[in-house]
Amino acid sequence: MKLPILQYGDPILRAKGKRIEKIDERIRQLTQDMIETMYAANGVGLAAQQVGEALQLTVIDVSQVEDRPSTMKLNGKDVDPRTAMPLILINPGIKLAGETELAMEACLSFPEITGEIERAKSVTISARTLEDSQIEIEASGLLGRAIQHEVDHLNGILFIDRMNSAAKAALSSRLKRMQKETRRGAAKDRRVAAVETAL
């Protein structure tokens, strides 16, 4: 089931996700709904906070993006990232490595806003899977960036927090307006209309 994506201004986006102790039917259903919601919105990742659940759970799929390559090692072995998608990461722990690089990002909770964000070129992440095993992933390129963006969400950190001060200043009135609209519920009505148009 496709879920509504919360927009900037909703306080859940600032909540740190709780660790998931038990992978039960509710978590499996939520994960499936998040994957469906991510695909329907043409996103490359979605965090539980974005659908109203402050949990350590995120889904990622970069396989449709051809102009921004990714590399991936799964449990120490090189794999084609496309064959490993969608990734489901539960209770992820992240280590950043190497230099940083600037690249463009967008976020499903900030329609029409993009920005250059500085992030580590490479990350190592350990996480629990839906099948309750522990995996380790090393990633760079778009996948490494998507993992960092989503793990930030799980900790209540948004990509605007990582923009430089000039970019943030340029966006400040749009962000204020967006916050206000979300609080009034106008964003919710717009989302419903957009979903209906897409059908």
Indicate if the alpha-carbon torsion angle 129, 131, 134, 136 is positive or negative. negative
Q: Report the C-alpha gap between 122 and 147 in whole angstroms.
A: 10
**Count of CA atoms in the C-beta half-sphere (13 A) of 94:** 24
- For 80, other C-beta atoms within 10 Å of its C-beta total 11
- Under rule CB under 5 A, residue 15 binds Zn ion: no
Shortest spacing between CB 96 and Zn ion, in angstroms? 18
Is 150 catalytic? The answer is yes
| Nearest residue (CB) to Zn ion, 90 versus 107 | 107
Which one from 118, 150, 181, 196 is the annotated catalytic residue? Answer: 150
CB 181 within 8 Å of CB 188: no
Shortest spacing between CB 110 and Zn ion, in angstroms? 7
> Between β-strands 114-128 and 70-74, what pairing exists: parallel, antiparallel or unpaired?
unpaired
DSSP state of 18: B
Q: How many residues bind Zn ion (CB under 5 A)?
A: 1
Shortest spacing between CB 158 and Zn ion, in angstroms? 7
Mark 83-122 with x for binding to Zn ion (rule: CB under 5 A) and - for no binding.
------------------------x---------------
State the residue number with the nearest CB to Zn ion. Answer: 107
Q: Enumerate binding residues for Zn ion (CB under 5 A).
A: 107
Catalytic sites, residue numbers: 150
